[in-house]
């Protein structure tokens, strides 16, 4: 398996670097539980922004097509992934924690000299995938609906906050 690249977050932002590539959905270990089949390719584009809201930042966009699991009939559900985000970079957790949380606006992450591009892309994909995807009309006749809507990624955004 080819080694996916790492970036020096601040250097990448400061120099306005760009990088794009494709990842196999099966390489996203945290995503696998939400997939009906570990197929598909995610295309990503990463761009460094020297000054975004006064900070170095990264702009990340992901596109692709995934097979999710319909939470009503448990059958395959085609999902067109198209998501973009801006990630404001902070040097350390303490600096990030000092900034008041806004519900809207760009995400904030702690940057390092060896940030895994695969992890950045996977985080963005996980946030873009719906919590409880359902067909508008299920075609499976023996479909059985779960009692409560499932939210496999509920709370993920909070967990992601201090990870990098
Ligand atoms: Zn369904």
- The answer to the question of residue 1 being in a domain is no
Question: What is the CB neighbour count within 10 angstroms for residue 120?
Answer: 22
Estimate the share of the chain in helix, then strand, then coil, as percent rounded to the nearest 5: 20, 35, 45
Spatial distance between the Cα atoms of 139 and 113, rounded to a whole number of angstroms: 49
Percentage of residues of the chain with pLDDT beyond 70: 82
- φ, ψ at 95 (rounded to 5°): -65, -40
Query: Total structural domains in the chain?
Result: 1
Structure tokens at 19: 């990088």
Report CA(70)–ligand 1 centroid distance (Å).
5
pLDDT at 31 over 90: yes
Vertex 34, ends 121 and 141: CA angle to 5°?
Answer: 145
Write out the two tokens for 102. Answer: 């806004």
Q: Each residue of 33-85: pLDDT tens digit?
A: 999 999 999 999 999 999 988 899 999 999 999 999 999 999 999 999 999 99
pLDDT: which is higher, 21 or 153: 21
22 within domain boundaries: yes
Tell me, yes or no, whether 38 lies in a domain. Answer: yes
Distance 71 CA to ligand 1 centre (A): 7
- pLDDT tens for each residue of 53-67: 889 999 999 999 999
Q: Measured in angstroms, how far is the CA atom of residue 136 from the centroid of ligand 1?
A: 7
Query: Could you read off the pLDDT of 73-118 as tens digits, one per residue?
Result: 999 999 999 999 999 999 988 888 887 777 777 889 999 999 999 9
Find the 131 Cα to ligand 1 centroid distance in Å. Answer: 14
Measure 142 CA to ligand 1 centroid, in angstroms: 10
Tell me the residue range of the domain where 35 lies. 6-161
Tell me, yes or no, whether 141 lies in a domain.
yes
Question: Has residue 146 been placed in a domain?
Answer: yes
69 within some domain: yes
Q: What is the pTM of this model?
A: 0.78
Q: What is the pLDDT of residue 164?
A: 44
Tokens of 144: 């059985």
Would residue 57 count as lying in a domain? Answer: yes
Q: Answer whether residue 135 is part of any domain.
A: yes
Centre of ligand 1 from the C-alpha of residue 49, in Å: 41
């Amino acid at each position: 398996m080819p080694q996916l690249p790492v970036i020096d977050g601040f250097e990448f932002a400061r120099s306005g670097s760009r990088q794009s590539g494709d990842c196999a959905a099966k390489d996203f270990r945290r995503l696998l539980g939400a997939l009906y089949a570990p197929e598909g390719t995610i295309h990503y584009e990463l761009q460094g922004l020297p000054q975004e809201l006064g900070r170095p930042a990264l702009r990340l966009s992901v596109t692709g097509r995934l097979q999710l699991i319909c939470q009503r009939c448990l059958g395959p559900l085609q999902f067109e992934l198209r998501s973009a985000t801006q990630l404001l970079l902070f040097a350390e957790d303490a600096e990030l924690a000092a900034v008041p949380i806004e519900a809207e606006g760009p995400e904030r992450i702690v940057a390092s000299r060896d940030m895994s591009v695969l992890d950045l892309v996977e985080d963005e994909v996980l946030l873009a995938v719906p919590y409880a995807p359902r067909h508008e009309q299920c075609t499976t006749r023996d479909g059985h609906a779960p009692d409560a809507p499932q939210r496999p990624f509920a709370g993920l955004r909070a967990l992601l906050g201090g990870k990098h």
